[in-house]
Amino acid sequence: MTAPFGPTRLLDTAGGADVVSLDAHLQRWGALPSASGRTIIEAVEQSGLRGHGGAWFPVGTKWRAVAGSGRARPVVVANGPEGEPASGKDRYLLRHSPHLVLDGAATAARAVGADKVVVHVTEEAVGGIQVALAERARRGIDGCTFEVAVAPDHFLSGQESAAVATINGRAPGIPTFIGIRSVRDQGVAGRPTLVQNVETLAHAALIARYGSEWFRSVGTPDSTGTALLTVTGRWDAPRIVEVPLGTTLGHALGIDAEAARAIQGVLLGGYGGGWLPTATALTMPLTEEAARSHGSSIGAGVVVLLPAGICPLAETARVARYMEGEGAGQCGPCVNGLDVLATSVEHLAYRPRSLRGGVAALPTLCGLIEGRGACRHPDGVARFVRTAVDVFADHAALHLSRGPCQTTRPFLTVPASPVAGAR
Amino acid sequence: MPDDPAVPDGAGEPGGRRPVSRPRFRLIVDPIACDGAGVCAELLPEMISLDPWGYPIIHGDEVPPGLVDLARRTTVSCPRLALTLLRIDR
């Protein structure tokens, strides 16, 4: 029951079992200490833990707000649909270490005074979670009830208001406009609701055991602890790695200057994140602030190293079209803007001479859709396209002067488009 | 200085009334409800323009005090009631 030393925390799977049973879990980590809600919130605040679902919002601040809402008994949503196609860390965690996630959810419930946790995951994770919940029920270790809600397999499923809509049995996976209010005030069954990413909850489960000082012993003062990353392009297949925040990707992934030359650019944060020049991505400290200062975001921890020989603009076009199709189809600027934006990127990628207004038309279009949806979907696509145009400016100039790339192959994972009219 | 929010409306008035500062407002659009009718941009061109697809773009974070009444009338004229005048000073 010793605290894990160094950067391996969530991926410490108690001796390498495929699925860590409750017995093995308790043997490795011990039981959750019975602290008061107030004590837990203070520890989480002092730990500096931030949301690993993509927003990097301070977790303690969020928990305190839900705990203090005071109208009705709050609900906790353990949120793990992970609609981001290039991300696999939440599924990995749910499959291999479900009890870390469930411990975190129970900790959050105690902290905010919730009597109910809804585990919100896609179909593939349901079986494993049910087994884990049955183990916990037999032991009677939880002071709250657990339910499982099945998320549709869409990009937007994990968005906060979309998750609540799914759980409330209303327009599954479709965000709602909550304006100045938030699901924190009115969410599941109209009750104050804490929606928290499953990796974030797993970190909280360890903070509850080992405290904030232990948590802060890894990372930087503002970006504390470790993060799970889904890394594509470094090995033959994508891999989940755990790294201390504040490290560099070059160091964490073992990429030297020589190996970096074979990388055209790095996508950080996923399809709502942003492209970075290889040198920047590999040498900047891995913190959300550093990523944002370069126009990107760590997002949900997606890292894609784009190898040479693949047209980055064709990849950007494929993703932009996929993201257009994954919109909820509710907001005019997003419905119209993303279609025009995707078409323009397709022009740049495949028919560059028919791109009206040149490359400069793309950031202008992005400006027209940013901040104008009910959710942040259009903003994410705009960031993805903006950074592509920036990072691959030389490549775009080649397209315009010499024509599109003659040879390329699909590299980024882009799921098949939903059947038209199915949503 | 009638527009200076630092000078409360009720300051200096007799009767010892608690100073009250002028309410401040922001316009927000519910992009799901909005269907691009465009009425708002006609009624309040000082603050609202339309994008290439006919959907409103709100300019400025705060409604200037002189436009608050017009902004309020604009919100009730929206056929989808997609505009909200939101009080931001409390």
Task: For residue A176, give how far its alpha carbon lies from the nearest alpha carbon of chain B (Å).
Answer: 8
CA distance A283 to A296: 14
Confirm whether B5 is domain-assigned: no
The 10 Å CB-count burial string (b at 16+, else e) for A349-363 is bbebeebeeebebbe
Is residue B16 included in any domain, yes or no? no
Tell me if B74 is assigned to some domain: yes
> What CATH number is attached to the domain comprising B69?
3.30.70.20
Do the domain assignments include residue B7? no
Closest CA to A128 of A90, A164, A180, A182: A90
A238: tokens are: 């994508």
List the single residue in A180, A333, A368 with the smallest CB-CB distance to B31.
A333
Q: Does a structural domain hold residue B80?
A: yes
* Contact call for residues A224 and A289 (beta carbons, < 8 A): no
Q: Does A356 touch chain B (CB under 8 A)?
A: no
Domain region containing B73 = 25-87
CA A415, A80, A116, A102 torsion-angle sign: positive
- Reference A395, options A319, A309, A318; nearest CA is A309
pLDDT 10s digits, B16-61: 555 678 899 999 999 999 999 999 999 999 999 999 999 999 999 9
- Stated as kind and residue range, the H or E segment containing A118 is strand A116-122
pLDDT in tens, A168-210: 998 889 999 877 778 998 999 999 999 999 999 999 999 999 9
Tokens 């010499």: give the residue. Answer: A402
Strand order in the sheet with A145-151: A145-151, A116-122, A75-79, A193-197
Secondary structure class of A121 (helix, strand, coil): strand
Q: What percent helix, strand, coil does chain B show, rounded to 5?
A: 20, 20, 60
Backbone angles phi, psi at A234, to 5 degrees: -95, -40
Hey, which residues does A75 pair with through a beta bridge? A116, A193
Phi-psi region of A166 (alpha: psi -120 to 50; beta: other; left: phi over 0): alpha
Q: At what angle do helices A312-326 and A332-350 cross, to 10 degrees?
A: 160
Query: Which ipTM value was assigned to this complex?
Result: 0.89
**E strand or H helix that includes residue A303:** strand A302-307
Closest residue by Cα to residue A171 from A152, A196, A147, A197: A152
- Which residue in A367, A374, A363 sits closest to A327, CA to CA? A374
Residues of A in contact with B28 (CB under 8 A): 179-180
Task: Kindly state whether A379 is in contact with chain B, defined as any CB-CB distance less than 8 angstroms.
Answer: no
| A159 Rama sector, left if φ>0, alpha if ψ -120 to 50, beta otherwise | beta
B40: in domain: yes
Chain B residues close to A372, C-beta within 8 Å: 31, 51, 55, 57
pLDDT > 70? residue B14: no
A382 touches chain B (CB under 8 A): no
Q: What is the pLDDT of residue A417?
A: 62
Number of folded domains in chain B? 1
Q: Do A368 and B32 touch (CB under 8 A)?
A: no
Q: Is B31's CB within 8 Å of A330's CB? A: yes
* B81, part of any domain: yes
| Separation in Å, CA A353 to CA A310, A314, A346, A359, B28 | 20, 15, 11, 10, 39
Domains of chain A: 22-216 (3.40.50.11540), 226-307 (3.10.20.600), 312-402 (1.20.1440.230)
Q: What is the pLDDT of residue A15?
A: 61
Place of tokens 């965690």: A93
Is B58 contained in some domain? yes
Q: How does DSSP assign A28-46, residue by residue?
A: HH-PPP---HHHHHHHHHH
Stretches where chain A sits below pLDDT 70 are: 1-6, 13-16, 417-423
**Two tokens at A84?**
């981001």
**Residues of A with Cβ-Cβ distance to B32 under 8 angstroms:** 176-177, 330-331, 374
Per-residue pLDDT at A215 = 97
Between A393-402 and A377-391, two packed helices, what is the crossing angle to 10 degrees?
70
